[in-house]
């Protein structure tokens, strides 16, 4: 079993990664944690059906089960209120906890509820998409969207544990799996040549979800994210590198009215931002092509962009990372660095046309 310890100024918790770690019976340390308190299981309809036997096993520890509609549209305040009303009605108190079973949407939403219900209760993350296993379940960012933009309301709130079983990815639709691959490639570009090399060598096994390779892949991504977020939990500096591909990606996602997945949007955003880095002369054209090749390992077709440059700039302008009327990007810069740059919409348009 792979174990990564997340430690935020003395508040440490384990991230366990192992094929079958969620099979009955649970490991003694998991069993012990589950028996500590009453749990509210928050999941979505797809996960509940796809992972019915896991839900059945967790039933033995579940006091209340809440199922939300799958997808980004559920990540909002109305849903938060509904969940907390149900918890209050069931008599959930500050000694109880939440288990978030699902992808990044369930994780962000359930974690946010845990952070504010009775001023904060315990929670466990069980991520079930590739994106949530390699990225969103680590680092304690929780939150919901507003009409004005994604993740504009939220909190930093670390879970009590994260349990990751690569086998649950078997039921994940390809579109979602490939979307998660975008975050994997993001880590390869952030970490530099050793990880990029590993990705190229193991890509076929990743496409076939080979359990031992997936365990290594997830561990590599998580170890990278964990090191970054432990050094900068509140995103004052270093943590910003994780936003590579996300400024353009979030705008693309919003303009599609969330019909394309977060991962697909990040894939698109990385291609856009690599081009921007190249045009700024931060990376050489050869490096840009090498990174783009990595992104193109993800087997998805580009969807048509049916928006103008101006509409796109406007969408990027609502990103919460922006300052001084300038749009924030974190881009690769030779040699093997990531750096933030603030650009006005006019500067971006001049560079990109
Ligand atoms: N908190 C963070 O640090 C962070 C980081 C990155 C992304 N995010 C957030 O994560 C969200 C995207 O997460 P996502 O890509 O996991 O999407 P998601 O949670 O919407 O899940 C995608 C789809 O897959 C289904 N699904 C999940 N697990 C399944 C399984 N094992 N089998 C079958 N179906 C399954 C879900 O029901 C859903 O329909 C976005 O809201 C994004 O903002 C958060």
Domain formed by 2-171, architecture:
3-Layer(aba) Sandwich (3.40)
Q: Which tokens in the block code for residue 85? A: 């009303």
The ranges assigned to domains in the chain are: 2-171, 174-352
- What is the b/e burial string over 131-161, where b = at least 16 CB atoms within 10 angstroms of the residue's CB? bbbbbbbbbbbbbbbeeeebbeebebbbbbb
Calculate how far, in angstroms, residue 176's C-alpha sits from the geometric centre of ligand 1: 8
Q: Are 166 and 283 in contact (CB under 8 A)?
A: no
Calculate how far, in angstroms, residue 309's C-alpha sits from the geometric centre of ligand 1: 28
Does domain 174-352 fall under CATH 1.20.1090.10? My reply is: yes
Q: Give whole-number Cα distances, 47 to 15, 67, 108, 113, 340, in Å.
A: 21, 9, 15, 19, 37
| Top mutation candidate among 6, 47, 240 for ligand 1, by most atoms within 8 Å of CB | 47
The pTM score is 0.93
Alpha-carbon Rg for the chain in angstroms = 20
Run of H or E including 3? strand 2-8
Active site residue 243: yes
Q: Is 1 exposed, middle or buried (0-12, 13-18, 19+ CB in 10 A)?
A: exposed
Q: Which tokens in the block code for residue 287? A: 């490096």
Q: Give whole-number Cα distances, 217 to 53, 197, 220, in Å.
A: 25, 12, 5
| Top mutation candidate among 45, 102, 137, 150 for ligand 1, by most atoms within 8 Å of CB | 102
Along the 353 residues of the chain, how does pLDDT read in single tens digits?
A: 899 989 888 789 999 999 999 998 999 999 999 999 999 999 999 999 999 999 999 999 999 999 999 999 999 999 999 999 999 999 999 999 999 999 999 999 999 999 999 999 999 999 999 999 999 999 999 999 998 878 899 999 999 999 999 999 999 999 899 999 999 999 999 988 899 999 999 999 999 999 999 999 999 999 999 999 999 888 888 888 999 999 999 999 989 988 888 889 999 999 999 999 999 999 999 999 999 999 999 998 777 777 888 999 999 998 888 998 999 999 999 887 899 999 999 999 999 98
């Amino acid at each position: 079993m792979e174990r990564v310890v997340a430690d935020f100024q003395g508040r440490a918790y384990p991230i366990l990664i192992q094929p079958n770690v969620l099979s009955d019976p649970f490991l003694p340390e998991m069993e012990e944690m589950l028996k500590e308190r009453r749990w509210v299981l928050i999941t979505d309809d797809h996960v509940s059906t796809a992972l019915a036997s896991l839900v059945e096993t967790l039933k033995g520890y579940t006091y209340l089960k809440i199922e939300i509609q799958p997808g980004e549209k559920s990540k909002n305040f109305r849903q938060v209120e509904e969940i907390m009303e149900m918890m209050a009605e069931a008599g959930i108190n500050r000694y109880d906890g939440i288990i978030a079973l699902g992808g990044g949407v369930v994780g962000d939403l359930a974690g946010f509820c845990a952070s504010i219900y009775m001023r904060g209760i315990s929670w466990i993350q069980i991520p079930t998409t590739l994106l949530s296993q390699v990225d969103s379940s680590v680092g304690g960012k929780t939150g919901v969207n507003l009409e004005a933009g994604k993740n504009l309301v939220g909190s930093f709130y670390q879970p009590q544990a994260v349990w990751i079983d690569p086998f649950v990815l078997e039921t994940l639709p390809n579109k979602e799996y490939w979307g998660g691959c975008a975050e994997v490639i993001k880590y390869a570009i952030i970490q530099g040549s050793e990880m990029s090399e590993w990705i190229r060598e193991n890509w076929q096994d990743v496409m076939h979800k080979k359990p031992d390779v997936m365990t290594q892949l997830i561990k590599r991504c998580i170890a990278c994210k964990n090191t970054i977020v432990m050094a900068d939990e509140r995103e004052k500096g270093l943590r910003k590198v994780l936003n590579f591909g996300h400024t353009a990606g979030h705008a693309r996602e919003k303009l599609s009215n969330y019909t394309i997945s977060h991962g697909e949007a990040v894939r698109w955003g990385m291609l856009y931002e690599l081009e921007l880095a190249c045009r700024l002369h931060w990376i050489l054209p050869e490096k840009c092509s090498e990174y783009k090749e990595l992104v193109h390992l993800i087997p998805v077709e580009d969807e048509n962009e049916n928006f103008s440059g101006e509409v796109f700039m406007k969408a990027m302008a609502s990103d919460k990372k922006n300052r001084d009327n300038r749009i924030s990007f974190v881009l690769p810069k030779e040699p093997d660095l990531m750096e933030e740059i603030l650009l006005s919409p006019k500067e971006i348009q001049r560079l990109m046309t």
